[in-house]
Amino acid sequence: MDLPLKTRMALWWNRPREKSNGKVSLALRKERYPLSNLLVLLPKNPEHSRLARIFIQSLQNAVGPEGRIHVRFIAMRRNLEFVDSSINDRLITYSNEHINRWGLPYKSFLEIVFSSQPDAVIDLNLDFDPVSATIVQQSNAPMRIGFYSEESEKYFNILIERKGSDYLEKGFRNIQQLLGLV
């Protein structure tokens, strides 16, 4: 991970701390749609956008036309050409103007993102991203899913391993199973 010193300091200062009210426990439900509000953070790296696009399409197919699950997406504005246009009505974009001098999102941007409380946050970044980590941390969602890295252990409560050549496809399939969509 090659983060500037000021960003690492800001992440350390804002690091997740154990809360006195205990940990949130997760449970599997028999309901067809146990979640009603998802927040998906699209990858910052354009090379990973193709597989993320496949995940988005399969997610939309799993949710179906009924729309019982509200899915919102967050992407960097410079990556819009890699984003499927069918999600534009649910897409929140950010650019460098939404990032403070420490390399983390401004509070005003976080207020836009959390206009409604998500039940689950899914980070599709394969590598640690401080902006995504801050969004995940601020979400307070009971289910925070991301790919494994040493830094992400502090932010996610469900980590997907990156082993093998087809780990992305398996990882995306695992995410859908965790959400109860498969």
Q: What is the pLDDT of residues 55-90, one digit of tens each?
A: 888 888 877 776 678 889 999 999 888 888 888 889
Closest CA to 156 of 180, 139, 170: 139
What pLDDT is attached to residue 30?
53
Q: Which residue has the tokens 């804002």?
A: 14
CB-count burial class (<10 Å; 0-12, 13-18, 19+) for 29: exposed
Q: Tell me the mean pLDDT in the region 136-159.
A: 89
Going 11 to 73 to 138 to 94, the CA torsion angle's sign is positive
Kindly report, residue by residue over 34-61, the tens digit of the pLDDT. Answer: 678 899 999 988 888 777 888 888 888 8
pTM, two decimals, is: 0.81
Structure tokens, 66:
């009924």
Confidence of residue 22 (pLDDT cuts 50, 70, 90): very low
CA 108 vs. chain centroid, Å, equals: 19
Structure tokens, 143:
């289910």
Partners of 40 in beta bridges: 73, 122
Partners of 39 in beta bridges: 72, 121
What pLDDT is attached to residue 18?
56
